[in-house]
Structure 1
Amino acid sequence: MKKVSIFGVKINNITLDEATEIVEKFLGEDRLRTIYTPNTEIVMAAKDDENLKKIINESDLVIPDGIGLIYGSRIGKKPLKERVTGVDLSIKLLEIANKKGYRLYLLGGKDGVAKRAGENILKEYPNINIVGYHHGYFKGSHIGYKDHEEELNLIDNINGAKPDIIFVGLGFPKQEIWIAENKNRLNGRVIIGNGGTMDILSGDSKRAPEIFQRLGLEWLYRLIKEPSRIKRQIVLPKFIFNVLFSKDVIQ
């Protein structure tokens, strides 16, 4: 798979359809594959954090979940084919799981969110086997408590459930760190760090209207809904500025 390096973060240059084909192959293997979904904010954080950059670059699939990455890659003359969001790829995973009767484990969100997400998933995808769920508020590697009893119990719970797919919605960078620290002791075929997807599946959050999605303006919709996000959204112009005035940042 061809990749585009943006500030040293290596992102697969693929479409949603190509990503879907890849995860279908992953699900046919007898090993755990990792998927990360970096957006512009995540790439800018990894730019100055070598450990985080290493975690992302060691993943089996890294999709460009951020319109800024698309614009930046075009400015750098190494264009990414299209934006591939974590939500969209997660839905594709659910569609595949529904066809094949795969087993799904849901990890993340506040207490009750993963359970509600599972209930809603079954309404739409009744052939999926929801084998477990757990909230995201536990002591573990992602917050400096590696091998804490709560983490070890969670890992035992996941492995005992024998999932094919694991959704991890702990938010960035906790989910990336937790997956990287524990992937070698987890059973499964695909594990994806998909951020707020759990909240959307549970009904606690809503995606932007389709017109915003098509125009790559989901960030604007979220900003309108939550003006306090302005501190986070300021990273987009900062990213474009860095791309324009730095040499060899996109390769």
Structure 2
Amino acid sequence: MESMRKIVEIAGINLDDISMEQAVERIYEFISSAENHSVFTPNAEIMMEGITDKNMKALLNGADMLVADGAGVVLASKLLGREVTEKVSGFDLVKNLLKAASQRPVKFYLFGGKPGIAEKANANIICDYPGAEVVGTRSGYFTSDDEASIIEDINSSGAEVLLVCLGAPKQELWITANKHRLKVKASLGVGGTMDVLAGNVKLAPDFFRNHGLEWLYRLYKEPWRFKRMLRLPKFILHVLGIRVGLVK
């Protein structure tokens, strides 16, 4: 499976050049295999963190599938002449997996969010995606002393796909640290997906999503994210530096 991967390298980070449909198919291949696989969905903020932090870069490059989540990452690939097929956001990937489960059943475990959020997301999944089976839920509030019981609960649930919504880089660190202790076949780090599934957070309107302006909508809704969002222009400037030869 690794030999079949088509990779696009951006600033030393190896993204899968893959469509949404192909990403869903790849996860079904993972489900049919004997091992657990890690799937990460970095946006421009996380990519910039990977550029400035060698440990984060190693985490990202260690994923079994790494998809471009966000217009900034897609733009970077175009600027470097290594354009990825399309944006594959974490939420849209999960949504397409849930839809596909109506024809090809999948067992999911929901891990993350504030207490009660995963249960609320499960209730909405039952209504909106009747073919998807959620076999367990757990909030994202825990200590290191709780990890053994969390892993035991996930393993005993019979889940095939684990949705880990702890936020970056906590979710990537957690998945990587526990990858070989988990009996699931695919562990997805998908950030705020749980809150969207629960109905607590709304996606940006289609206009913003279709024109690569989700960051602007998020900034309008959550102005406290301003400092963190400065990583987006830093990321694009870094990529432009690579393009003109100022940055290796």
14, 20, 24: which one aligns with 1:16: 20
Q: Is the 8 A contact 2:48 2:232 kept in 1?
A: no
Amino acid at match of 1:232: R
Tell me the TM-score normalised to structure 2 length: 0.93
The one of 77, 80, 86 aligned to 2:84: 80
- Once the two structures are TM-superposed, the CA of residue 248 in structure 1 deviates from its matched residue by 8.2
1:137 maps to: 141
Q: Distance in 1 between matches of 2:26 and 2:247?
A: 27
Q: Report the equivalent of 1:59.
A: 63
Find out whether 1:170 has 2:174 as its counterpart. Answer: no
Does 2:34 match 1:30?
Answer: yes
2:54 corresponds in structure 1 to 50
Distance 1:96 1:66 in 2: 22
Say whether the 8 Å CA contact 1:86–1:197 is kept in structure 2.
yes
Contact residue 7 and residue 249 of structure 1 kept, 8 A? no
1:97 matched to 2:101:
yes
Gaps of 5+ in 2: none
Deviations 1:153-199 (A, max 9, x none): 11111111110111000000000000000010101111100000000
Aligned residue number for residue 217 of structure 1: 213
TM-score (norm 1): 0.92
Partner of 2:11: 7
> Within 2, Cα distance between the matches of 1:95 and 1:18?
15
Amino acid at match of 2:237: F
Secondary structure, aligned partner of 1:151: helix
| Counterpart contact for 1:24–1:96, Cα < 8 Å | no
Q: Distance in 1 between matches of 2:93 and 2:54?
A: 27
Q: Would the aligned equivalents of 1:107 and 1:168 in 2 still touch at CA under 8 Å?
A: yes
Taking structure 1 as reference, are residues 249 and 112 closer, same or farther at Cα in structure 2, changes over 3 Å only?
farther
Matches within 5 A, 1:185-224: 185-224=181-220
Aligned to 1:144: none
Q: Secondary structure at the match of 1:100?
A: coil
Contact 1:29 1:189 in 2 (8 A): yes
- Percent sequence identity is 41
Q: 1:248 to 1:182 in 2, by over 3 A?
A: farther
2:183 aligned with 1:179? no
Q: Which amino acid is the alignment partner of residue 230 of structure 1?
A: F
How far off its partner does 1:124 sit? 1.1
After the TM superposition, which parts of structure 1 deviate over 6 Å for at least 4 consecutive aligned residues? none
Q: Structure 1: which 5+ residue stretches go unaligned?
A: 141-147
Q: What is the Cα deviation at residue 245 of structure 1?
A: 2.1
1:42-77 per-residue CA deviation (whole Å, 9 max, x = no partner) reads: 011111222221111111110000211111111111
Task: Tell me the amino acid that sits aligned with residue 57 of structure 1.
Answer: N
Secondary structure of 1:99's partner? coil
Contact 1:200 1:207 in 2 (8 A): yes
What residue number does 2:228 align with? Answer: 232
Q: How many pairs were matched up?
A: 242
Shift of 1:152: 0.4
Query: Take 2:160 and 2:247, find their aligned partners in 1: how far apart are those partners?
Result: 37
- The one-letter code matched in structure 2 to 1:210 is D
Match of 1:145 in 2: none
TM-align CA RMSD: 1.5
Please say if residues 94 and 128 of structure 1, whose CA atoms lie closer than 8 Å, have aligned partners that are also in contact. Answer: yes
